[in-house]
Every structure is written in C-alpha cells, then in structure tokens.
Structure 1
Amino acid sequence: MKDNIIKFVLSLSLLLFYYSFQFTFTVHSFNHTNVKNNIEYLASDNFKGRLAGTLENEEAAAFIKSEFKNLGLIPFEGDYYDPFNAPFPNRLDQDPFLKILDKNGKTIKDYKYNEDYKEDMLNFKKNNLKFSKKDTIKMNNTAMQINQGNESFIFYVPENSNLSFRSSFISTDSNSLYIMITQKTFDEIKDYISKGNTVSCFIPFDIKEGKLNNVIGYIKGSNPKAAPVIISGHFDHLGSDLNGTIYSGALDNASGISFVLEFAKYIRSLGTPDKSIIFVGFNAEEFGCVGSSKFVDKYKDSLKGAKVYNFDMVGSNNSVPLSIMAGEKDTINSDFIRSLTSTLSSENVTYSCVFENSSDHEAFRKNNIDAITFSDDDMTRIHTPSDKPSFISTKSIDRCFSVASVEIIKQAFDGNPMLIHYENILMVSLISIFLVFLLYRRTS
C-alpha cells in the first residue's frame, strides 16, 4: 500500500515536472527591458511627439504594425490598419505673435513666444483675433474670455505662470482658441486694454480632417464564438510646440503601447487561447479618445461580452499605487473589478480604484462592455516636455504585469493554473521528486 502511494506521488510529480519544464522553455518571459527599449524608441525625438495627423504618428503606427506582423498576429478584418476620419491640428508654416497696437495700429509691445505666451492645444477653430475694450470681455484675476459674434477666445494664466503644460486637442470644445500667458503678461494686457489699446494675436495652427489609423492584430481562440479579450494602449501624443520643443510622451503613452507589444509576445507563447485575443494600438486618444470610440462604434455588435484591458501610463518611477481606472458609473462591487482587486491583493500590490471616463476604456463602458485601464497614478510630468524615458521604472512595469497576466489568463485561457503557476509547479514538483526518491530509498 505504501509503495503504491509513493509510486502515485512520484508519477504525479514527474508528470507535473514534465509539463512545467516544457512551459519554462516555451513561454516567452515578459521582459521589462524590451518594454523600456520600445519606450525609448517611440519617445525619441525622431517621432516628434507622435501627434495624430503627422507623418511621425504614421511612422509610429507602421512600427506597431510591423511588430504585430512579426509576432504572427492575424490582421484584423483583413488589415492591421483600421482607418477612421477625424479632425486634427495642422501646423502652418508661419510665425506666432502676440502684440499690443496703439490707436494708430502701431506695435508698442511685442511679446515673446514661450516666455510670455504660448498656445494651448485645446482648439484652433480660429487662429487669430484682435480685441479691445470695445469687445465683450469677461475677466477675473487670471483669465479673460473675449466674445466676438459666435466666437469665444480664452486667455489664461496657468499655475505658477508655467507655460509648459499642453492640453489634449478637443475639436468639439465650445471655445475657438486658448492662449496661455504669464501673470505679468496678463496684468499688462489688462492695463493696455484699459488705456484704449488693441491686442492682436496669431497662432499658426488650423484644423484639418483626414484619415488616421488604429492598429489591430489578434490571436484566434479555440472557441471563436466566445466574446473576445481586448488588450490595448494608445500610441499618439501631443507633438511639439512652435519652438520645436518635443512632448515625448514616454509615460503617456509610449509606455502603454510598449507594454502591449511585449505582452503580446508573452501571450503568443502560451499557445492557443480559449477566447480570441485582440491587440489594439489606439490613435487620437489625446483628441478625446477618438480612436477607441470609432473602434467601439464600428465593432460593438461583435464585442458584446468582451473583457477589455487597457494600458495607459505604466512605469512611473514615483512611489504611486497602481490605479485601476473604470467607468464613472462603475463601483468596487462589480464582478469585473472584484476579480481584479482579488488578484491585486494576492499579488500584494498597492492599488487604488478610480471611476472616471478619462482613457480608452470610456467608449467600451458606455456600451456596457467590461473595460478597465491599468495606470500609474502619477501626473507630475504628464503633458509636459519632462515626460522622458529616463523617468520610467521597470519595477512599476513588472508590477503591472504581475496583475494583468493573471487576469488575462483567467479570461482568455479559462484560468489554466499551469499557465499562471508553471514556475512554482516546476520547483514544487522537483522538490517532491527528490523527497519521494529519498523516502523510497529509506523504505526499500
């Protein structure tokens, strides 16, 4: 009887060792160095901030397409590119100005770009204006709104008169143009206006509409009728200012799309999933999540029941929790969120839950599709020229992987414990074989 038990335990241990040993050599180990290298590449000056509508944004899309193709992902609906039309800011080959004109139209003050004033990206419905005290002006100590007919223009002083922050472009915003100015410039303009002078301003951007691309590839599951799992991150950012200062967008969001690329290698090596897995590089997130909205509008009928894992800002070097961002109407008690928080707790990851529509999960949630965004809750350098690869932490990247990998295996591979725990199983089975062998020798 004892021999039979020993033989059974030994057989089971050998079987577990065999399969876990196979996984050890066939599964691609998620490599944070690969993620960091891709962040450095996409956030390099060569891509000039990846503003949607620019050649550099197209080059970033081409890089992602090439990576998907090299991984053996299947083109989605016959093509890796999924095009959509959208408005985008278009740089004009002219110089900006903000100046004060006297009653005869003569320039009496010419302000310096990037020192005294700078465009904000919010809108460029109209790129020039002149105004004086004859116009309707609403004003407080740090902002003025100029109304001319149906047009509205905003001049405002950012915190600490810091002109480096750049907002997302929102073509539907009700105001036509936003100009950041220092407090000193603001006070001077108020004084000049009160004395009957005219403010004249021109910003060399306008709005064009054209074709942009999301990039999509997928792995076909063994049950193609099952709702898919979607893994996504946006690759666009905010371009460069009129001085050529580049907003590299390393954390936001070269990090998220680089995480998705390395994660795709890992997932691809696990074998055929039960559910199809769709990998998406979204474009025009910085225009109000336009690319993801277009994607959901186009495919929502086939996405019912899908689970969406979006990655936006992964890899902060500041001590911040891993944020699980869900829709503004979600709660901590939803089944999808509870599964995530359970894994976060089991992995001993410090986290926070945020319920707001501020990333590419938004369109999915508005269509009742389960979706969350993994994000490091660090806004210290976001939308400024300081968002560089040198501030990326591979430790934070690994932290996100430890949670996302478990959750996505749960959903796409029916929670196969071998895929989640193969390294531990290998070690335990090896120890078991050794102990059983010792026990067998003692009893024989």
Structure 2
Amino acid sequence: MNKILNEFIISFLVLLFSISFNTYLNIHPFNENNVIKDIDFLTSNNFKGRLTGTFENKLIEEYIRLQFIKNDLKPFIGDYTQTFTTNYPKRINGYPHLIIQNDAGVKIKEFIYGIDYKEDMLNFKNNKIIVNNKNPFIISKDRMLQVEDNKDYFLFYIPTNDNLNFRSSFVNDSNWSMCVMVTKETLSSINTAIRNGNSVDCFIPFSNSTTTASNILGFIEGKNKYKDPIIISAHFDHLGADLNNNIYKGALDNASGTSFMLEMMRYISSLGRPDRSILFVGFNAEEFGCIGSDNFVKTYKPYIKNSKVFNFDMIGSNQDIPLCLMGGKQDSKNTKFIKNISTVYSSQNININYLFEDNSDHKAFRDNNIDAITFCDNDTSRIHTLKDNPKFIKINSISRCFNFSNKKILEFCFNNNFMIIYYKQILYLSLFFIVIFLILICLHKNYNH
C-alpha cells in the first residue's frame, strides 16, 4: 500500500513539474526592460514626434502591425488596419514671422520665433493675420489679445510662466482659427504698437489639411467565439516637431502606453489560447480629440458592445504619483466595471486614485455604454512639452501597472487559470517536494536495511 501511495505522490509531483516547466518554457514573461526599449525606439528622432498625418506616424503604424504579425496575432475582421480620414496641421513652405511695421510697411521690430512667440498647435484654419487699430474687433486684456477678422478668430496669449514649450492638441473644430503664444514683453509691445497706429503682421507656416490615418488591430481568438473580445489599447500618436525642428518626443504621453500594450501583447500571446478573445488596438489621432478611437467604435460597435476595455495612457511616471483609474464623465467609483477593477489595489497595497474625465480613448467606448477604463500615471508636469523624454520614465511604475492590470485581464480572458498565474511557484515547489520525497524514500530504505 505504501509503495502504491509513494508512486502516486511522486507521479503527481512529476506531472505538476512537467506541466509547469512546459509553461515556463513557452511563456514570454512581461519584461519592463522591453517596455523601456520600445519607448526609446518610438521616441527616437527618426519618428519626429509621431504626428498623425506625417510619414513618420505611418512608420509607427507599420511597426505595430509587424509586431502583431510577428507574435501570431490575426487580423480583426479581415484586416490589421482600420483607416479613417481626419484633418491635421500640415507644415507648409515659408518661415514664421511676427513683425511690427508702420503705415508705409517699414519694419519697426521683428520678434524671434521660439523666444518671443510660438504657435500652440490648436488650429490653423487661417495662418496669417495683420492687426492694427483699424480693426474694430479687438479685445485686449492683461494676458491676451483677441482679434476677429473676416469671421476668423485669432488669439495671442501669455502662457503660464512665459513658457513657450507647451504644445496644445490639435482640435479641428475649435472656434479659434489660430492661437499664438507670446511672452509678456511681446504682448506689451504688440499692444503698444497697435495703440500707436502701427500694424502687427503674423504668419505661421502650418495649415489645416486632410489626410488618412489608421488604427492598428491584432486579434487572439478565444475558445468562446460568442463573447465579445477583451480590448487592450493605447494611442501611439503625438505632437510632432515645432518650426525650429525641436521634437516633442512624447515618452510618457504616450510612447509609454503603446510600449506597455506591445509587451502585454507579447506576454499574453504566449499564454496559449484564451477562453475569451482578445483584441489589441493601437489608436491613432488621440491628440486630435480621440479621433481614432471614435472611428473604431463607430465602425465595430456591433462586435464590441459587450467588450471590456483596458486602455493605457501615460505609464511610467514617478511612483509618488498614484496609479490613476480613469473613467468617463458619467462614471464614479461605484460604476460596476471600475469597482470590479479597483478591488485589486486592496489586495496588492497599490496606491491609486480616480479621475472621471473624457481625456483619453476610453471616451468613445463610455459614450456608447461599453465598459472601459484608462490606466494612467496622471503626471502632467512634462507632457506636451520638450521635457517629456525617456529619461524620466520609471521602471517601478511600469511594474506597478502590470501587477495591477494583469490580474484582471487574466481573470476576464483566462478565467484565472491557476497554472498561468502560479506556474513559477508550482515549478519550484514541485521540484522541491520531488527532491524531498526522494530523499525520504532513500532514508527509509537505508533504515530498513
């Protein structure tokens, strides 16, 4: 009887070891260093800030598509790309200028681009304005000058701390035709020039132009084909470069979220076939007002109306910044999906907070009553500035987000498969007990002799 029991125990332990070792060999563990490498790649000067509508943005589209193919993801409903039309700020020929001149057209003063003034990128429905006291529609205040000219609205304003490095998102349907940031001294000179009967001539060589852009889609088919997929997403576009060719790298916003999503894809695609299908999406034109995700939801709503969306936007800031769970404006802590996700923090002692704004790609889903959440290290101190570069990304915050989000993704996609979650512990423990058990058997045999 003891022999049979011993054989059963050792066989069971060997089986556990064999299964866990095979899982160990096949799983691509989530690697934070791969996230850092992808952030470095996406923010390199080669891609010039990944502005939607540019050739460099299309290179990123292709990079993500090839990563999906390399890891055996399938096209979603027949294609890896979903293409849509949008307007974008196109750089055109010419040099920027902001000039004060007299009635005879003689230049009195020329301001220096990047030091005295700079575009803020909001809109370029009209990129040229001449202002003087003959224009009756001028509103001058301490920190701004508003001008209406032939139904175009222009704004010259002083940014916080005279910092001209901030770059606005592009908003095609903004009421403003063009906005220009100026220093306090520049605005004072402009106001004085207009009062003295001189003119101010401003030209910024960008124009609103139409382009096509694409979201990139990669699909892992689950065992249950009747359930709508879990969606894991991030936007990959950013704000391009200014007219001095200073590149807005967008490391935190959102090379980090894209790189996090890609590494999640490599990890999850190595786990075997999930119980529920998983759709990975790289969204484009988020910086233009979530245009890509809005088009995605409009196109695919019949296939995703019961999906759960895990969106990643700005992952890897200082760990003193709590991990933010962001829902839509209509959400709260008690929204069922957000409440479900937030249960993780109590078990893992992770510092979190909440934000309920339509500030990322969860917006289109929530507007259509599809469960969605954005994970975000809500540090706005450097985003949309030239300081948002990879050296400020913190690997511990990447780990924190993975530990938090992965638990729920495995729950929804793999029904908390015990072997997937604990394969390392099972591997080590089964090996340990096999060795101990064999030692005990040997000792027992020696004792009997």
TM-score clears 0.5: yes
Look up the match of 2:203: 202
Partner residue of 2:99? 99
Query: Could you tell me how far apart the structure 2 residues matched to 1:150 and 1:336 are?
Result: 45
User: Which residue of 2 is the match for residue 335 of structure 1?
Assistant: 336
Q: Which consecutive residues of structure 2, in runs of 5 or more, have no partner in the other structure?
A: none
Partner residue, 1:23: 23
Indicate how the Cα distance of structure 1 residues 346 and 427 shifts in structure 2: closer, same or farther if over 3 A, else same. Answer: farther
Q: How does 1:7-406 map to 2 (within 5 A)?
A: 12-135=12-135, 136-317=137-318, 319-406=320-407
Change in CA separation of 1:396 and 1:160 when aligned onto 2, cut-off 3 Å: same
Q: Note the residue ranges of structure 1 that are not aligned, 5 or more in a row.
A: none
Compute the displacement of 1:32 (Å): 1.4
- 2:433 and 2:338 map into 1 onto residues whose CA distance is 37
For residue 142 of structure 1, what is the amino acid of its counterpart? R
Sort the Cα spacing of 1:244 and 1:72 in 2 relative to 1 into closer, same or farther, 3 A.
same
Task: For residues 271-311 of structure 1, give each alpha carbon's deviation from its aligned partner in whole angstroms, at most 9, with x where no partner exists.
Answer: 00111111111100110010000000100111111011111
Could you tell me how far apart the structure 2 residues matched to 1:329 and 1:72 are? 37
Q: How far 1:404 sits from its partner (Å)?
A: 1.8
TM-score, normalization by structure 1: 0.95
| Distance apart, 1:378 and its partner CA | 1.2
Superposition deviation, residue 73 in structure 1: 0.8
Aligned AA (2:82): D
Contact in 2 for aligned 1:251/1:382 (Cα 8 Å) = yes
Deviation at 1:223, TM superposition (A): 1.0
CA RMSD of aligned residues (A): 2.0
Alpha-carbon distance in structure 2 between the residues aligned to 1:122 and 1:420: 46
Q: Is the 8 A contact 2:164 2:182 kept in 1?
A: yes
**Distance (Å, rounded) in 2 between the aligned partners of 1:150 and 1:8:** 86
Contact 1:116 1:182 in 2 (8 A): yes
Tell me the distance in 2 between the aligned counterparts of 1:427 and 1:251.
37
What is the SS of the residue equivalent to 2:30? coil
Give the Cα separation in 2 of the matches to 1:138 and 1:2: 95
- Pairwise CA distance, 1:328: 1.4
CA distance in 1, matches of 2:434, 2:334: 43
- Report the residue type matching 2:311 in the other structure: N
- Please give the alpha-carbon distance, in whole angstroms, between the structure 2 residues aligned to 1:377 and 1:112: 34
Q: Report the CA distance shift for 1:339/1:9 in structure 2 as closer, same or farther (over 3 A).
A: farther
For residue 271 of structure 1, give the secondary structure of its aligned residue in structure 2.
coil
| Displacement after TM superposition at 1:111 (Å) | 0.6
- Following superposition, the deviation at residue 436 of structure 1 comes to 5.2
Q: Distance in 2 between matches of 1:127 and 1:322?
A: 40
Q: Which moved more, 1:424-433 or 1:322-331?
A: 424-433
Matched position secondary structure for 1:333 = coil
Indicate if the aligned counterparts of 2:319 and 2:397 stay in contact, CA closer than 8 A: no
Amino acid at match of 1:272: R
Structure-2 separation of matches of 1:342 and 1:425 = 25
Of residues 317-326 and 39-48 in structure 1, the stretch that sits farther from structure 2 once superposed is 317-326
Deviations 1:197-230 (CA, angstroms, capped at 9, x unpaired): 1111111010111211111111111111111011
Question: What is the CA distance between 1:5 and its match in structure 2?
Answer: 7.7
**Per-residue deviation, residues 235-270 of structure 1 (Å, max 9, x unmatched):** 111000001100011111111111111111101110
**Distance change (3 Å), C-alpha of 1:14 and 1:369:** same
**Aligned length in residues:** 444
Q: Secondary structure at the match of 1:295?
A: helix
Q: Deviations over 1:26-77 (max 9, x none)?
A: 1111111111111111100000001000010011111111111111111122
Q: 1:238·1:247 contact (CA, 8 Å) conserved in 2?
A: yes
Letter in 1 for 2:323: L
With over 3 angstroms needed to count, the CA separation of the structure-2 counterparts of 1:5 and 1:150, relative to structure 1, is farther
Sequence identity of aligned pairs in percent? 46
Specify the SS of the correspondent of 2:233.
strand
Instruction: Give 1:434 deviation, angstroms.
Output: 5.0
TM-score (norm 2): 0.94
Rounded Cα–Cα distance in structure 2 between residues aligned with 1:150 and 1:11: 82
Alignment check: 8 A CA contact 1:318 1:378 kept: no
Q: Give 1:323 shift.
A: 1.2
* Closer/same/farther in 2, CA of residues 4 and 341 from structure 1, 3 Å limit: farther
Amino acid at match of 1:423: K
For residues 302 and 138 of structure 2, the distance between their equivalents in structure 1, rounded to whole angstroms, comes to 48
Q: Which amino acid aligns with 1:356?
A: E
Native 8 Å contact 2:118 2:181 kept in 1: yes
Distance 1:144 1:8 in 2: 84
- Report the residue type matching 2:422 in the other structure: H
Displacement after TM superposition at 1:148 (Å): 2.1
Aligned residues of 2:85 and 2:211 also touching (Cα < 8 A):
yes
Tell me, in whole angstroms, the C-alpha distance in 1 between the residues paired with 2:28 and 2:341.
Answer: 23
